[in-house]
Structure 1
Amino acid sequence: MVSELNLYTRRLGKEVFDLGNENTTSVRYFSGKSYVHSLTTEPVRVTNVTFEPSCRNNWHIHHKGGQILLVTGGRGWYQMWGEPAQMLKTGDVVNIPVEVKHWHGAAADSWFAHVAISVPAEDASTEWLEEVTKEYYAKLSTE
């Protein structure tokens, strides 16, 4: 953990929140390593999520409740289904509407950290879908 934290600090500068623990709960939905640090769960779930370079999550949909991302470090990508991918940097805010298929993750050459705020809704859930392939992701880095 110390070596990962040192690498994270060198890549992003002074971190806003703790790196947290390696993401083992949703690991099957991520390409590469990610780390999670729960900031609060009540009344709204707020989590610091950190991606190593090239790490990204699968396409997914938030049912009944959306999500807000506050980028706190590094550079990454966000893409809604049918739209071009957007480069994200520190200070960017993404409002992900309910029922929208999307993915997000780190740029190939940068760590990426964001605070994920789950928009509360009764019976909200996340549906995990197909991965963002290496071939597709590699094209983003060169365009």
Structure 2
Amino acid sequence: MDIKRKADLETVEGPEEYFTGKATITGQFKRDDPSRLTGAIVHFEPGARTAWHSHPLGQTLIVTEGVGWTQIDGGGKYEFYEGDILWCPADKKHWHGATPHEGMTHIALQETLDGKNVTWMEKVTDEEYHAELAKD
């Protein structure tokens, strides 16, 4: 068993090229083969969000605090809350982040395929970020 203590976890700033606003990444990990699992705890300050991105085998987000927004390219923008679990299917372009007035933290879990777990794309525009929530 390998236990990483909270006090020993490294926290880094989310790279500006992949995030808008302030986001921090804590406890980033990659498991050894044959496992393909990677993950981290990501905290978004109010207004912070990822750039558009995709994951070759999909991504699970477990929301541990706050309120956030997410959207798959071509679909509606949805709000989610502490305790929610989100699934973004493989190779679907999407983004996620905090709302303008409340921060959000999630545990992000995804698998690697051929050594890659994410493909980063362009930043989410302010217009996309502030679009109305989906009604369904």
TM-score by length of 2: 0.79
Conserved in 2, the CA contact under 8 Å of 1:68 and 1:119? no
2:93 counterpart of 1:101: yes
1:23-42 mapped onto 2 (5 Å cutoff): 23-24=13-14, 26-38=15-27, 40-42=29-31
Equivalent pairs, count: 124
Conserved in 1, the CA contact under 8 Å of 2:53 and 2:119? yes
What is the Cα deviation at residue 32 of structure 1?
Answer: 0.4
Per residue, is there more helix in 1 or in 2? 1
Separation in 2 of the partners of 1:79 and 1:68? 14
2:43 counterpart of 1:50: yes
Report which stretch shifted further, 115-124 or 30-39: 115-124
Are the structure 2 counterparts of residues 127 and 120 from structure 1 closer, same or farther at C-alpha, using a change threshold of 3 Å?
Answer: closer
2:14 counterpart of 1:21: no
Separation in 1 of the partners of 2:115 and 2:94? 20
What is the Cα deviation at residue 87 of structure 1?
Answer: 0.2
Secondary structure at 2:129 match in 1: helix
Are the structure 2 counterparts of residues 127 and 38 from structure 1 closer, same or farther at C-alpha, using a change threshold of 3 Å?
Answer: same
Report which stretch shifted further, 36-45 or 102-111: 36-45
Conserved in 1, the CA contact under 8 Å of 2:12 and 2:26? no
* Counterpart in the other structure of 1:67: 59
What is the Cα deviation at residue 45 of structure 1?
Answer: 1.6
* Counterpart in the other structure of 1:85: 77
* Counterpart in the other structure of 1:137: 129
Give the gaps of 5 or more residues in structure 1: 1-16
1:70-108 superposed Cα distances (whole Å, 9 cap, x missing partner): 000000011111110110100111111111000000000
Backbone CA RMSD of aligned residues: 2.3
Separation in 1 of the partners of 2:51 and 2:112? 22
Question: Taking every aligned residue pair, what percent have the same amino acid on both sides?
Answer: 32
Separation in 2 of the partners of 1:52 and 1:121? 30
Secondary structure at 1:135 match in 2: helix
Are the structure 2 counterparts of residues 108 and 20 from structure 1 closer, same or farther at C-alpha, using a change threshold of 3 Å?
Answer: farther
